[in-house]
Amino acid sequence: MALPREVAAVFVAKTARTFCYGFLGIVLPVYLAALGMSAVGVGVAVTLTLAASGALTWAIRRPAERYGGRAALLGLAALSGVAALILLRSSNPWLVVAAAMLGNVAVGAGETGPFLTVEQVLIARAVPAPRRTAFLSVYNLLGYGAAAFGAAVVGVLPAYGPLFLVFLGGAGVQSLAYLRLKGGPAVVRKPGGTLPSAPLIRRMAALFALDSFAGGFVVQSLVAYFLHARYGLGLDALGLVFFVSQLLTAASLGLAAPLARRFGLLNTMVVSHLASNVVLIAIAVAPTAGSAVGLLFLRHLLSQMDVPTRQAYVMAVVDDHEREAAATTTTLARTVAQALTPALTGWVMQAIALSAPFALGGTLKIVYDVLLYASFRRVALRSEGEGAAT
């Protein structure tokens, strides 16, 4: 099957954006610490960034439904450009935080927020159901692969100004890619905006929120801070660590589609995620930097196979006219829930132990896995195709 123009444009934009996120997620917490922020301050900064991402996710739904993905994504890319300019011009720590909020800078290994909300719907509509998981796997693979190379840039170019300039260039590339999208709404909503799947969407959103709340304990920025504070790893070492971890994540995404075809979307989501959370808890008791990094690598081999399967699952259990609502509601729930945790994590690191968030996050994520399977194992998919078995 030829690559649809809509999908190609999204793939280019995703690659440019996540390449920048790869180095920004490492650089920003270290930069804020260099500007005088404490562990608690860094945690609050991450929370504010995630809260802003949630606000943008909520705000983008109606424009995307009314005017289409092209207009919505061009507006978001413009905000990223403004954020990059602020980072280039100011060294005030709270203006740096404001720029991260405005630019929807990802602070975790995976992306969440308004870009993801719109882009996954565009892909779902552009490709047939049997190929949806495969295309979403490539979408996420490009993101993690680009983020890996972005992380590696930190070791090659450990200077803040040039990296922020690259971020500005990335916003420009996104804008050019989005200009290739079709204008106008892609689907006509039913009269009255009825959502027959609203209870199901809310149930998914609640469970995804629990997973993201737990994930907020171990977002990439705070893992970078943990490795820096506990083991003394500098920017060059951190860049290499997250380069390798993102590559491992990207490699694992290739397994998502064949596993979903064989075992079903839900089973693939739950089993791979559950195994990764056992490894996450083990990081809390790692005695050396080498063992902690090794366990981190193992987790990245397992933890993100549920991402394309989850996205495909959300698109498959609702009708087409409900997809913006489903994507927005579930992504917003994930983002807001994740935003609550980092400020608490900073306090936990300072008051209890630097490693405590790994144990807390892993335990809560295991609870999520169990509840997800119990709640959705009998739910039928609306669009049949790849991964239809649950």
* 277 vs 154, residue with greater confidence: 277
Domains of the chain: 5-183+196-376 (1.20.1250.20)
What pLDDT, in 10s, does the model give residues 226-273? 888 888 888 888 888 888 887 888 778 888 888 888 888 899 999 999
Checking if the pLDDT of 150 tops 50, the result is yes
* 354 vs 273, residue with greater confidence: 273
What pLDDT, in 10s, does the model give residues 80-118? 999 999 999 988 999 999 999 999 887 665 677 899 999
* Mean per-residue pLDDT, 310-316: 90
Alpha-carbon distances of 34 from 92, 230, 267, rounded to whole Å: 11, 17, 44
H runs (alpha helix) in the chain: 5-34, 39-67, 69-89, 93-102, 114-126, 132-156, 160-178, 198-215, 220-231, 235-253, 256-263, 265-283, 289-302, 306-316, 323-351, 356-376
Instruction: Give the type of residue at 2.
Output: A
Confidence of residue 390 (pLDDT cuts 50, 70, 90): very low
